[in-house]
Amino acid sequence: MLIIYLYIFLISCSVKYSIAHFGYSKRQQHLWAQTFKMCAGKMQSPVAISSKKSLILPLPALEMIKFHNLMGGTLVLHNNGHSVSLNFEKQNSDEQLPYVFGAMLTENQNYVLQGLHFHWGNKNNRGSEHTLNGVSYPMEMHMIFKNTAYPETAEALSNEDGLTVLATFFQEDDNESLSPIVESLPVVKWKNSRANLNVTFTLNSLLPKDTDTFYTYRGSLTTPPCSEAVTWIIFSMTVPISFKQMNKFRILSNGEDVLAENYRKLQKIGNRKVYLRKLTPKFTDNPELNFNLNVSSLNWYWQ
């Protein structure tokens, strides 16, 4: 998933790169590593997330700043042939985009929004890049944020803490909050088409009601060049999307066929740890356990 693609990703979202064509068939994914060596790395994403195998800790909250503010500037919806993304173009240099910090992100560093995009399937039993407890959801959204410690995107992509991606699963139900995006999808039906949204929304309206519980691990972009620069934050609660809304994604074109099934196969977790932020009674009834947790001492890998 990441489709942090958008021509190299996507960070596309705001920074564009020229990248070779890649596809999502089993054979095409197998060939990614021939051109992009990192796609064969040992910290690749997505992975299968398991509650039972995750380490439950009272991690710091993910602080989300300006998520309740209406998005300013120009909102550009883009069908790049791999996904549909939403990019945010500021009207002036003083305008501040939403950003995040906390959780297990690098201490005293802010991560600023670059954009968001979606991965989905033709059927409701598949489409998400990550799976949770063996379940594959019909769609997964990725919000991409870049560490402000790295001014240039190339630099961020070469550091393991360069990016963080907030991943959200969608499950079938009605959701009016998605209307600003979904109602504009017919305008970007064809590959390389773009459209400015004439409505705005808050980032918070696209996220689950509970953002306090999440999984986090170190991984990579889920599209070439597969840079191992991502701290993943995956919310456990889903966001609703109606059958009618899902079908509007499924009629988009990738230039040759229907744009769907745009998710990467699961990668091996290897010796990586997955942490689960969950405030269980064990922690809430023993405040000292919270105060004594030194996040900087936690290791991302099993020794």
Hey, which residues are catalytic here? 82
Q: How many CB atoms lie within 10 A of CB 210?
A: 10
**Cα separation of the two ends of the chain:** 27
Q: How many residues does the chain have?
A: 303
Q: Which two tokens stand for residue 167?
A: 């991943």
CA geometry: angle at 79 spanning 73 and 81, to 5°?
150
Contact 227, 158 (CB under 8 A): yes
113 φ, ψ to 5°? -60, 135
Residue with structure tokens 């095409």? 28
Distance CA 137, CA 139 (A): 6
